[in-house]
């Protein structure tokens, strides 16, 4: 995944300053290298992130338009020569790109035979040379760009600029997100709305196979076959300030602390507590189809996949629907048994996760009803699914997902209530779930007041190089997620394990230097977790327990305890995961690591 940003305007703004500020808000998408091009001044590129780029830019590097890029390396090492923007032979056609050009080797060979000289190892560079090649026929910049786009195969979000037409910038999308920002006398192109929002909230999302041309005065959209597209602008309902740290040292901590508000926003207008019902407007158009569904397949990747595993327990126990959870990256490489009585439910924070998107498309091809739980309004999964539920969690900037996971679990609980009441869940049970959902924000706020104690605990275990996370039933996915968070931000070995599987192998790792994080709240699996803890202690292993408030007995057995408020078992993951998120944050912070930008990771994986 990479971040692209482009600007053209006549307001007297310095395009260089606009682009640099925009890149800062896109750094979660990649930070291996960065670059900028202004037709009036040329290009500046560097390994590293925006701070390194800013150091290299001269004071007189100014212009009215330009394109900029942050790279997350796929083809070619993260060096200056591989940094975007890339140019043609003459330095007149420039391109920034997010995605992978699958046929770049054959195109590069053909262009080389035509005399083109390549300066990088990047697949992106072939795009600039293709446009250059088509320009030699005299067809003009727009037609040359369109011809080049029809030559390439793969995924892309692209912005192209031609030195001889500096006010005009061309964008294109195929599998990687592109959004246009519509201002007064200025227009923008970006990978997502965040760099656009300080300037305008009016945006247009491109669909796959669409091309856009922007000038300071207007924009135009058309398809790869040159047919025009008419689409109204969307107004983004969150501000640029929401994407800032708000006084916190890191986005990750800020986003964990936003948990109570996130639950409230996900629930807002969707609960009818007096009747024990959930009202999901995004599903109203497919209510009759949902009544006929006999099976749900949840597709997701990473943290969203673990949310799906919790949803599987929720939906099967309380809505009575058989559920399978599939990795989005594997789903289409099997021959899934899917028909019109199957619903494929995609979970994705960004709504742009390529593997999950392709799983949705595969489900649609096989006749399934497709649904989404997505945070990003107007994203591809949100548009391509038949119906769905928005998280309303606001922008999540930290690469390691925290508040989005909380919101996904809350949305899955709402979906369970919605479908459960369709399928025999009693009003009494519905009221019980709804009442407890309403109580969660206050309970989570109380839990977050204990963050300093968790910080102290992280310092105590700071020399540990390995961790085992144990959970069962609803909290097995929480164990997986807790281990993932610690791996993502601190780079140490951690693994999640079903407590019932511990004796089938993982217990061999336990000794006095291999601590265990046991999720042992008072639920249907409590006694079994206690037995597991005894087994670990007998082997001199240290144990940190996530336990229910008031459980004094567990404190006598384990080394340390992180207490959480009591709630329904089906909702317990929403609270139980938060101490694990905080522990991972403080553990990594204590090591001096950049928790918002873990090495080798990007926020949204939009290439396979």
CB 86 within 8 A of CB 57: no
Nearest-CA neighbor of 517 among 500, 499, 538, 539? 499
In this prediction, residue 378 carries a pLDDT of: 75
Mean pLDDT calculated for residue range 187-211: 93
Of 351 and 563, more confident: 563
pLDDT bucket at 469, cuts 50 / 70 / 90 = very high
Q: Is 198 exposed, middle or buried (0-12, 13-18, 19+ CB in 10 A)?
A: middle
pLDDT in tens, 407-428: 999 999 999 999 999 998 999 9
Q: Is the pLDDT of residue 215 over 90?
A: yes
Cα separation, 342 vs 331, in Å, equals 14
Give the mean model confidence (pLDDT) for residues 177-195: 94
Place of tokens 């539920």: 389
Once rounded to an integer, what is the mean pLDDT over residues 453-461?
97
Q: Give the number of other CB atoms < 10 A from CB of residue 7.
A: 33
Question: What's the N-to-C CA distance of the chain in angstroms?
Answer: 10
Is residue 2 annotated as part of the catalytic site, yes or no? yes
Contacts 24+ apart (CB under 8 A), 78-81: 78/32, 78/33, 78/47, 79/33, 79/47, 80/33, 80/45, 80/46, 80/47, 81/119, 81/120, 81/121
For residues 45 and 84, the answer to whether their CB atoms sit within 8 Å is yes
The confidence band for 244, taking pLDDT boundaries of 50, 70 and 90, is: low
Nearest one of 132, 33, 24, 30 to 84, comparing CA atoms: 33
Positions of E strands within 48-165: 65-71, 86-87, 93-101, 154-162
Helix (H) or strand (E) holding 18, with range, is helix 15-25
Q: How far apart are CA 169 and CA 118, in angstroms?
A: 23
Mean pLDDT calculated for residue range 287-291: 93
| Catalytic entry in 45, 403, 485, 603 | 603
pLDDT in tens, 498-548: 888 888 888 888 888 899 999 999 999 899 999 989 989 988 889 999 999
Residue 325 has a pLDDT of 96
How many other C-beta atoms lie within 10 A of the C-beta of residue 424?
Answer: 9
Bigger pLDDT: 217 or 238?
A: 217
How do residues 271-287 score in pLDDT, each as one tens digit?
Answer: 999 999 999 989 989 99
What average pLDDT does the structure give for the chain? 92
Residue 128, pLDDT score = 97
pLDDT (tens digit per residue) in 123-138: 999 999 999 999 999 9
Q: Strand, helix or coil at 447?
A: helix
CB-side neighbour CA atoms (13 Å) of 12: 0
Residue 404 pLDDT: 95
Instruction: Say yes or no to pLDDT of 204 above 70.
Output: yes
Closest CA to 191 of 205, 210, 202, 201: 205
Q: Given the residues 2, 301, 487, 497, select the one marked as catalytic.
A: 2
- Chain-centroid distance of CA 303 in Å reads 9
| Full-model pTM | 0.76
State the Cα angle at 342 between 336 and 348, rounded to 5°.
Answer: 80
Instruction: Look at residue 237 in the predicted model and tell me its pLDDT.
Output: 77
pLDDT given at position 553: 92
Residues 76-86 have pLDDT tens digits of 677 889 899 99
- Structural domains in the chain plus CATH codes: 3-240 (3.60.20.10), 245-447 (3.40.50.10490), 451-590 (3.40.50.10490)
pLDDT over 80 (residue 191): yes
Q: What is the pLDDT of residue 27?
A: 80
What are the DSSP calls for 468-481, one per residue? Answer: EEEE-GGGHHHHHH
Give me the pLDDT at residue 601, please.
81
pLDDT number for residue 192:
86
> Would you state the pLDDT for residue 114?
94
Q: Is the pLDDT of residue 393 over 70?
A: yes
pLDDT band per the 50, 70, 90 thresholds, residue 308 = very high
CA neighbor of 589 nearest in space, from 472, 478, 469, 451: 451
Q: CA dist 545 to 452, 454, 484, 519, Å? A: 17, 12, 18, 6
State the Cα–Cα distance between residues 406 and 445, nearest whole angstrom.
Answer: 13
Torsion angle, alpha carbons of 347, 348, 349, 350, to 10: -150
Cα torsion 30, 31, 32, 38: sign = positive
Q: Is-contact 554 529, C-beta < 8 A?
A: no
**Percent of the residues in the chain that have a pLDDT greater than 90, as a whole number:** 76
177 has pLDDT over 80: yes
Provide the edge-to-edge strand list for the sheet that holds 493-498. 493-498, 466-471, 516-519, 543-548, 560-564
- Give burial (CB, 10 Å; 0-12/13-18/19+) of 586: buried
Rounded to an integer, the average pLDDT of 146-167 is: 95
Instruction: Please list, residue by residue across 358-382, b when 16 or more beta carbons sit within 10 angstroms of its beta carbon and e when fewer do.
Output: bbbbbbbeeebbbbbbbbbbbbbbb
Known catalytic residue: 497? no
Respond yes or no on whether the N-terminal peptide bond of residue 150 is cis (omega within 30° of 0).
no
With a cut of 70, say whether residue 74 has pLDDT above it: no
Round to whole Å and give the CA distance between 389 and 266.
9
DSSP run (H or E) holding 298? strand 295-300
**Quick check: 387 pLDDT over 70?**
yes
Closest CA to 129 of 102, 146, 148: 148
- What pLDDT does residue 397 have? 84
Residue 433 has pLDDT above 70, yes or no: yes
d(CA 179, CA 329): 25
What is the Cα–Cα distance from 138 to 51, expressed in whole angstroms?
A: 40
pLDDT at position 246 is: 67
Q: Which of 241, 232, 92, 74 is nearest to 163 (CA)?
A: 92
- Phi–psi pair at 522, nearest 5 degrees: -75, 90
- Which pLDDT band holds residue 1 (cuts at 50, 70, 90)? low
Burial class of residue 203 (count of CB atoms within 10 Å of its CB; 0-12, 13-18, 19+): buried
Is residue 210 within 8 Å of residue 251, measured between CB atoms? no
The CA R_g of the chain, rounded to the nearest whole Å, is 25
Residue 99 pLDDT class (50, 70, 90 cuts): confident
Nearest alpha-carbon partner for 268 in 393, 372, 406:
393
Average pLDDT over residues 9-38: 87
Which residue is it, tokens 């995961």?
577
**CA pair distance 156, 179, nearest whole angstrom:** 13
Per-residue pLDDT, 155: 85
User: In the structure, what pLDDT confidence band is assigned to residue 587 with cuts at 50, 70 and 90?
Assistant: very high
Q: Using the Cα atoms of residue 506, residue 512, residue 517 and residue 522 in order, give the sign of their dihedral.
A: positive
């Amino acid at each position: 995944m990479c971040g692209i940003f482009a600007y053209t305007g006549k307001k007297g703004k310095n395009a260089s300053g606009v682009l640099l500020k925009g890149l800062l808000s896109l750094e979660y998408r990649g930070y291996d290298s960065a670059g900028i091009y202004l037709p009036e001044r040329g290009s500046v590129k560097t390994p590293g992130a925006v701070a390194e780029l800013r150091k290299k830019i001269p004071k007189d590097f100014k212009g009215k338009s330009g394109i900029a890029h942050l790279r997350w390396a796929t083809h070619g090492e993260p060096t200056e020569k591989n940094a975007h923007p890339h140019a043609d032979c003459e330095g007149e056609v420039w391109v920034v790109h997010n995605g992978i050009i699958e046929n770049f080797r054959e195109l590069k060979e053909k262009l080389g035979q035509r005399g083109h000289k390549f300066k990088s190892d990047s697949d992106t560079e072939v795009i600039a040379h293709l446009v250059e090649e088509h320009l030699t026929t005299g067809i003009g910049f727009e037609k040359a760009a369109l011809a080049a786009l029809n030559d390439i195969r793969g995924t892309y979000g692209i912005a192209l600029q031609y030195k001889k037409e500096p006010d005009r910038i061309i964008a294109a999308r195929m599998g990687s997100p592109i959004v246009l920002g519509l201002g007064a006398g200025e227009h923008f192109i970006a990978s997502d709305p965040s760099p656009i929002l300080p300037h305008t909230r009016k945006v247009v999302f491109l669909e796959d196979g669409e091309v856009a041309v922007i000038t300071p005065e207007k924009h135009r959209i058309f398809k790869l076959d040159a047919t025009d597209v008419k689409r109204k602008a969307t107004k983004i309902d969150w501000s640029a300030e929401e994407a800032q740290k708000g006084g916190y040292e890191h986005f990750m901590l800020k986003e964990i602390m936003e948990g109570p508000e996130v639950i409230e926003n996900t629930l807002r207008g969707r609960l009818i507590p007096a009747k024990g019902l959930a009202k999901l407007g995004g599903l109203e158009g497919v209510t009759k189809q949902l009544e006929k569904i006999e099976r749900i397949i949840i597709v997701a990747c990473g943290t969203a996949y673990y949310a799906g595993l919790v949803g599987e327990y929720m939906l099967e126990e309380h809505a009575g629907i058989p559920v399978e959870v599939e990795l989005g990256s594997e789903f289409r490489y099997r021959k899934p048994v899917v028909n019109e009585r199957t619903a494929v439910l995609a979970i994705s924070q960004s709504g742009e996760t390529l593997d999950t998107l392709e799983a949705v498309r595969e489900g649609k091809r096989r006749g399934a009803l497709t649904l989404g739980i997505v945070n990003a309004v107007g994203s591809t999964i949100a548009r391509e699914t038949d119906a769905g539920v928005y998280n309303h969690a606001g922008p999540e900037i930290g690469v390691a997902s925290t508040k989005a996971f909380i919101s996904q679990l809350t949305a899955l609980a709402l979906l369970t209530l919605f479908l459960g009441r369709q399928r025999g869940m009693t009003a009494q049970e519905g009221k019980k779930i709804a009442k407890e959902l309403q109580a969660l924000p206050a309970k989570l706020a109380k839990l977050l007041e204990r963050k300093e104690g968790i910080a102290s605990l992280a310092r105590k275990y700071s020399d540990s190089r390995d961790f085992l996370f144990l959970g069962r039933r609803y909290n097995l996915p929480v164990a997986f997620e807790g281990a993932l968070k610690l791996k993502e931000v601190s780079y140490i070995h951690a693994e999640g394990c079903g407590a019932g599987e511990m004796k089938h192998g993982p217990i061999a790792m336990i000794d006095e230097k291999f601590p265990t994080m046991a999720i042992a709240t008072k639920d249907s699996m409590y006694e079994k977790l206690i037995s597991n803890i005894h087994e670990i202690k007998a082997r001199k292993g240290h144990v940190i327990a996530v336990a229910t408030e008031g459980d004094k007995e567990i404190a006598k057995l384990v080394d340390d305890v992180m207490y959480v408020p009591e709630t329904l078992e089906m909702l317990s993951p929403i609270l139980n995961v938060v101490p694990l998120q905080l522990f991972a944050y403080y553990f990594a912070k204590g090591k001096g690591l950049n928790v918002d930008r873990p090495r080798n990771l990007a926020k949204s994986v939009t290439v396979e």
